[in-house]
Structure 1
């Protein structure tokens, strides 16, 4: 299995990466495929992310609703945390933001913190899961 790509270097004369402008949110299916391809997502990380999503489903109220991008945010954060948990080397949040094509690095950082808090900072998985 090829390693995930290295974090892309910063670009621009100021050393800051511009935030991508997306006028339309991709379907969740297209977003998932795009992230998996661009980040060379490890199958083990994808499985762990699915377990994290199941956990969230159990702890969130059944009537919980969000914005149009909420599922995209939760998916990205789950994949990011699972990648960091499974791999010795994992792409940085800047890398995930760039390849999401939708979210800034600040948003990705926030998503990561929020998901960690929701999961009570428990990333390990059990055999039952």
Structure 2
């Protein structure tokens, strides 16, 4: 089996999370929030990936969608967390026959520490998904060239 094919079934690695967080940070500005409960982006991604069981192939596909956004919209005024979650949901649904439902994705975003709790509601997750579909012009197809371009960064 080719290295690229083997790679897509592997677990998501910390260097992949760091890279995706960096790319997202280059296109998003954090919108003001009423309180300071938002976890760091890398923490959010790490916990979400672990709780959802996402594999490298789906994770790398989010990078394809993120880079499409980057080419269309140099700066987005929303949270980095919204961009990652919405692209992850779309990649999971596009690539997998049995992706979690949005209610489950909302549950995966809930993170607590001794002081605060952070998470997105089911309604917010639905809204993020619809908005991302519109931003991507409902085009979720990923061709081999796009996928290999993102995979080459890690192989």
Q: Could you state the TM-score of these two structures normalised by the residue count of structure 1?
A: 0.77
Partner deviation per Cα, 1:92-115 (whole Å, 9 max, x = no partner): 000010110110000000000000
2:40 pairs, out of 27, 47, 51, with 27
Q: Quote the residue 1:118 is aligned against.
A: 135
The runs of at least 4 aligned residues of structure 1 exceeding 3 Å deviation read none
Partner deviation per Cα, 1:1-40 (whole Å, 9 max, x = no partner): 6xxxxxxxxxxxxxxxxxxxx9611100000000000000
CA distance in 1, matches of 2:126, 2:137: 17
1:99 pairs, out of 90, 108, 117, with 108
CA distance in 1, matches of 2:88, 2:71: 18
Q: Are residue 66 (structure 1) and residue 77 (structure 2) matched?
A: yes
Contact kept? 1:42, 1:83, Cα under 8 Å: no
User: Secondary structure of 1:48's match?
Assistant: helix
Unaligned runs of 5+ in 2: 1-8, 10-34, 111-118, 147-155
Q: Quote the residue 1:79 is aligned against.
A: 88
CA distance in 1, matches of 2:109, 2:71: 26
Higher relative contact order (CA 8 A, sep 6+): 1
CA distance in 2, matches of 1:79, 1:42: 11
122 and 90 in structure 1: CA distance in 2 versus 1, 3 angstrom threshold: same
User: Secondary structure of 1:121's match?
Assistant: coil
CA distance in 2, matches of 1:88, 1:42: 14
What is the number of residues matched between the two proteins? 105
Q: Quote the residue 1:11 is aligned against.
A: none
